Amino acid sequence: MTDSFWPYRTPGIPDDRFEQLPGIPMSKCEVRLLVLGHLRLRANSRLWDIGAGTGTIPVETGLLCPEAEIWAIERDDEVADLIRKNCRRFDVRNVQVVLGSAPECLADLPAAPDRILVEGGRDMGAILHYGWQRLQPGGRAIATATTLEGLYRISEGLAQLGARHVEVAQSAVNRLETRGNRQVFAAVNPTFILSGEKPTA
Distance of CA 149 to the CA centre of its chain: 19
What angle is formed at CA 152 by the lines to CA 146 and CA 158, rounded to 5 degrees? 110
**Helix, strand or coil for residue 33?**
helix
Domain residue limits, the chain: 15-197
Q: Where are the beta strands (DSSP E) in the chain?
A: 46-50, 69-74, 95-99, 115-118, 140-145, 164-170, 173-179, 182-188, 192-197
Examine residue 66 and say whether the peptide bond preceding it is cis (omega within 30 degrees of 0). no
What are the two backbone dihedrals, phi and then psi, of residue 173, each rounded to the nearest 5 degrees?
Answer: -120, 135
What band does 188 get if pLDDT is binned at 50, 70 and 90? Answer: confident
Q: Which pLDDT tens digit goes with each residue over 121-177?
A: 778 889 999 999 999 999 999 999 999 999 999 999 999 999 999 999 999 889 899
| Full-model pTM | 0.92
Assess whether pLDDT exceeds 70 at residue 3.
Answer: no
- 24 Cβ contact list (under 8 Å, min separation 6): 53, 54, 79, 82
Q: Which tens digits make up the pLDDT trace of 56-85?
A: 999 999 999 999 999 999 999 999 999 999
Angle at the Cα of 99 (from 93 to 100), degrees rounded to 5?
145
CATH class name, domain 15-197: alpha beta
Burial classification of residue 200, based on how many CB atoms lie within 10 Å of its CB (0-12 exposed, 13-18 middle, 19 or more buried): exposed
Q: How far apart are CA 21 and CA 8, in angstroms?
A: 25
What's the average model confidence in pLDDT over 91-105?
95
